[in-house]
Structure 1
Amino acid sequence: MSKRDELFNPLDPEVIRDPYPTYRRLRETDPVYWHEQLGAWILTRHADCTHALKNPDLFTTDFRKVGVPTPGPLLSLQTLDPPDQTPLRHFAIDAMRAQDFGELERDAWQRAEALLHELRSRGTFDFVHDFATPFTLGTISRLVGMPPPEADEEWRRRNDQLHRSMDAGLDPDSEEAGLAAREAFSDYVARWLAGEPTQGISAYVADNRSQLDYSDEVLCNSLRAFWHAGFEVPARFLGNAVTTLLRHPELLEATLEDVDTAVEELVRFSGPVHVVSRMCTKNTELGGREISRGDLVVTVLAAANRDPERFDRPEELDLTRHPNPHLGFGRGTHSCLGNAVARIEGRVVLTTLFRAYPDVRLAGELQWWENATLRGLSQMPVSLGRVSATIG
C-alpha cells in the first residue's frame, strides 16, 4: 500500500493484534467505505455483507464475468457461480452425505486424546503447530480419503506461500508463489485420484467422475481447496477459540455445559475467516453508495459478526447466545461445505482439552500471523498441567 489509510490499514501491527476496534470504527463511521489503496469497497455491516454473499448475480466470485481473467489454479468450486457452479456443488454435497460422520467423530475423539496425552509430557508446547494443525490435517485427510502429506520443509514452504497469497491485494508480490503452491497441492490431489482411492470423498469422486462435465483441473482444484481449507481454517479457529476461553476462565463451565452452542459463539466472536471478496457485475447502490460494475467488494465477516444491529451485546462473549446468525461459515452458494467437520472438531477439542486438563494455561507470548484475510496465531505456547481425575 502506498500510504497509510486513514480508517483501515489491515497489516498494521496493532490491527493484526486486535482488529475489532478498527472494524467497529469503520462500521460506525463509513460502513460502505472506499479504500483507495486496495481499490475496493469495504463492507462491515451484517446486512450489507449478507446481501453481497447471497446475490452472486450481482456480487460474483467469478471475476471473468467482468473481464478479469482467472488463473488456472484458482478455477474451482470456490470461484464458480451458479449456474456454472450448481452441478459441482450438488455433487460435492452428495459426496459429503455419503461419508460416515459418526465414525469420523469417533476417530477425532481418539486422536485428540492421544495427541494431548503425548504432548503433556513436553511440559510446554505450541498448541497450533503441535496439536491443532496435525489434528485438523488428520481429520480432513481421513474425510477426503488421502494420507496426510509429510510436513517437511517443502510442505511448510508451499503452505506458507499459499497462506501469504490470501493477502495478494495488499501484497501483490505474493500472488505468483501462491498460485504455484495451489498448483503443487492440486497435483498431489490429482496423483491420489489417479491411484483409484477406495475411501472417503476421493473414492466417491473417482467412482462418480463420469457424472460431471468439468475439466480435471477444476475438479482437482476444488478437492484441493476443500482439503486445504479443511485443516488451515479450523486449526486457526481452535487456536483462537482456546485462547479466547483461557482469557475468560469464568466461562469454561458454560462451555462444557453446552459445547455446541459455545462453538457457534466462538465462531462469531473469534472466527478465523475475516474477509471474503466479490466483484460487482453491474452498477448498483448499497448503503447509500454507488458501486460500479467491476468494483471489488470486500465483505468483512468479522465486523459483521459484531454488528449491534444484528446482535445484542455484540462485543460480549455469550456462550449461551441463541439464535446466533453469524457469518463465520459464509452464506449462500459459497457457504462453507465443511462446516459440519469444523463443528465436530470444535466439540471434540474443547471438551477433551478442558475436561481432561482443567489447569491448561497459556505459557508464553502469543504471536499472530501477519494476515488480514485469515486470522490466527503463529505462536501459542501452552502447558496442560495435571490430568483431571474425571477424564474418561
Structure 2
Amino acid sequence: MSNQDELFNPLDPDVLRDPYPVYRQLRESDPVHWHAGLGAWVLTRYADCLQVLKNSAVFAADFRKVGIPTPDPLLSLQTLDPPDQTPLRHFAVDALRSQDMGALERNAQQRAERLLDGLAQRETIDFVTDFATPFTLGTISELVGMPPPEADEQWRQRNDELHRSMDAGLDPGSEEAGLAARQHFSDFVAGWLANGPTDGISGYVAANRAKVDYPDAVLHNSLRAFWHAGFEVPARFLGNALTTLTAHPDSVSLLGADPDTAVEELVRFCGPVHVVSRVCTEDVTVGERRMRRGQMVVVILAAANRDPERFADPERLDLTRSPNPHLGFGRGAHSCLGNLVARIEGRVALTAVLRRYPALAVDGALDPWENATLRGYSSIPLRLHGAPVVS
C-alpha cells in the first residue's frame, strides 16, 4: 500500500523533520481527511480527536471487534477495551500505586547526576545515547523491578525492528519482524517473572497474580509494553524537549522556575507520541463526515495539541501555559499509565542537564527517526559550552 497522498505523506523526509506545517494544513483544509493510501480517516482537530479517544465503545483499540485478527504478541492492556480491559487496568493502577514514587524520583536525580558526572570531561556528547536512553532505561527498569538488559547488537536490532513496525500501516513489510521483537521482549519479561521477583511492579505482579484472570501471555505483553514504552517514549521526549529549549533559549529560565508547568507545555508542543489508531465499531459521524463500521481512524495527537480552537497562540512555546489540557498522554481508557513516571523523568532530567550546562547547544545535524508514530531523534550531537556549573 502506498502512503502517498496529496496532503499528507507521513514518511516524506520533510515531514519527518517537521510535520507541524502539514498538520496545520490538514486541520485548516480537511480536518476529517480520508487518506486513500492508509485506508483510514485522519483527524487533526482537538475536539474530534478527543471524541475518538473518550469513546472506546465506538472507536476501538481492539480490532477483533470488527473481525480483524490481533496477533498474540499484541494482545495486551493497550489493545483490550472496556469491559474486557477494566480488571487488568485496575490491577496495573494498583501495581503503580504500590510503588514509592518519591524514592523513584530521588533515585532518578542521582542517576542523572551520575550520568552527567561521567560526561563532565567531554566537550561533545550524543544526548540520545549518552544520556537520555540510559537515564530512562535505568529509571523504568528500577520501577518495574527488572535489570536493564545488555544493550548489545541483538538488543539494538530488536529495538529497531519494534520501532519500524509502529508504522506497519505505512510499511506492512515491517510487521512480521516487529511482532517477533515484541515476543522476544515479552519472553524476557516472562523469564524474569518466573524468577519470583520481589521488587518493583514485577514483584507486585508475582505476588498478586491470582487477582486477575487473564492468560499469562496477556500479562507478560502488558508488562513488556509498559516497560518498553517507559524508556523509549520518554527518551524521545527528552530529546525533543532539549532541542526545543535550545531553539528557545529565552525560555530556559522558566523551566527552573516551574518545572511541572514547563514539562506539560513541552509535552504539548513537542511530545513524541504523534499518532494513535482506532477502528469504528459502528457507523458514526465525526465533524461532518460519515465513517463506516470497520474503517480505521488515525488520531494525530500532535495536531490536536496545536489546535487554535483549544489553545491560544498554539504555535508559541509558553512554559507558563496553564491550564494545559493537551492530549500528549491520551485520554480515556487508553490514557498513558506511565504519565507520572514520564513527568518525573522530564523535570528531573531537563533540570539537571540545563543546570549544569545552561549554554549547551546542538553541534551538528539532528538525525530524526524514520517513524511517523513515535517521533524524535536517533542522534542529537551537543556541545557542552564552557565549564560545567557545579551544583
Please indicate, yes or no, whether the TM-score normalized by the shorter chain is above 0.5.
Answer: yes
2:119 corresponds to:
119
Give yes or no for the alignment of 1:334 onto 2:340.
Answer: no
2:141 corresponds to:
141
Give yes or no for the alignment of 1:349 onto 2:345.
Answer: no
1:120·1:383 contact (CA, 8 Å) conserved in 2? no
Deviation, 1:114, is 1.1
Give yes or no for the alignment of 1:294 onto 2:294.
Answer: yes
The 2-side partners of 1:385 and 1:12 are apart by 34
Give yes or no for the alignment of 1:67 onto 2:67.
Answer: yes
2:269 corresponds to:
269
1:177 corresponds to:
177
Q: For the structure 1 residues 208 and 22, does the alpha-carbon distance in structure 2 shift closer, same or farther, using more than 3 Å as the test?
A: same
1:25 corresponds to:
25
Moved more, 357-366 or 98-107: 357-366
SS at match of 1:322: coil
- Structure 1 residue ranges (4+ consecutive) displaced by more than 6 angstroms after TM superposition: none
SS at match of 2:278: strand
SS at match of 2:162: helix
Deviation, 1:120, is 2.7
The 2-side partners of 1:281 and 1:121 are apart by 57
Cα shift readout 1:214-272 (whole Å, capped 9, x = no counterpart): 00000000000000000000000000000000011111111111111000000000000
2:230 corresponds to:
230
2:58·2:281 contact (CA, 8 Å) conserved in 1? yes
Output the aligned Cα RMSD.
0.9
The 2-side partners of 1:124 and 1:63 are apart by 46
2:2·2:38 contact (CA, 8 Å) conserved in 1? no
1:252 corresponds to:
252
Count of matched residue positions in the alignment of Structure 1 and Structure 2: 391
Give yes or no for the alignment of 1:97 onto 2:97.
Answer: yes
Deviation, 1:3, is 6.5
Q: For the structure 1 residues 100 and 42, does the alpha-carbon distance in structure 2 shift closer, same or farther, using more than 3 Å as the test?
A: same
Moved more, 123-132 or 221-230: 123-132
SS at match of 2:290: strand
Deviation, 1:388, is 4.8
The 2-side partners of 1:235 and 1:296 are apart by 29
Deviation, 1:385, is 2.9
Q: For the structure 1 residues 81 and 145, does the alpha-carbon distance in structure 2 shift closer, same or farther, using more than 3 Å as the test?
A: same
1:120·1:385 contact (CA, 8 Å) conserved in 2? no
Percent of aligned pairs with the same residue?
71
The 2-side partners of 1:3 and 1:125 are apart by 36
Deviation, 1:124, is 1.1
Give yes or no for the alignment of 1:36 onto 2:53.
Answer: no
SS at match of 1:299: strand
The 2-side partners of 1:358 and 1:364 are apart by 18
2:321 corresponds to:
321
Opposite residue 157 of structure 2, the aligned amino acid is R
2:151 corresponds to:
151
1:278 corresponds to:
278
Deviation, 1:387, is 4.2
Q: For the structure 1 residues 3 and 348, does the alpha-carbon distance in structure 2 shift closer, same or farther, using more than 3 Å as the test?
A: closer
The 2-side partners of 1:196 and 1:316 are apart by 49
| TM-score in terms of structure 1 length | 0.99
SS at match of 2:320: coil
SS at match of 2:227: helix
Moved more, 122-131 or 210-219: 122-131
Moved more, 36-45 or 357-366: 357-366
SS at match of 2:297: strand
1:358·1:387 contact (CA, 8 Å) conserved in 2? no
1:164 corresponds to:
164
2:195 corresponds to:
195
Moved more, 109-118 or 136-145: 109-118
The 1-side partners of 2:3 and 2:131 are apart by 39
Deviation, 1:386, is 3.4
The 2-side partners of 1:162 and 1:211 are apart by 30
Opposite residue 306 of structure 2, the aligned amino acid is R
1:130 corresponds to:
130
Cα shift readout 1:175-226 (whole Å, capped 9, x = no counterpart): 0000000000000000000000010000000000001100000000000000
| TM-score in terms of structure 2 length | 0.99
SS at match of 2:236: helix
Runs of 5+ unmatched residues, structure 1? none
2:144·2:227 contact (CA, 8 Å) conserved in 1? yes
SS at match of 1:321: coil
The 2-side partners of 1:214 and 1:72 are apart by 13
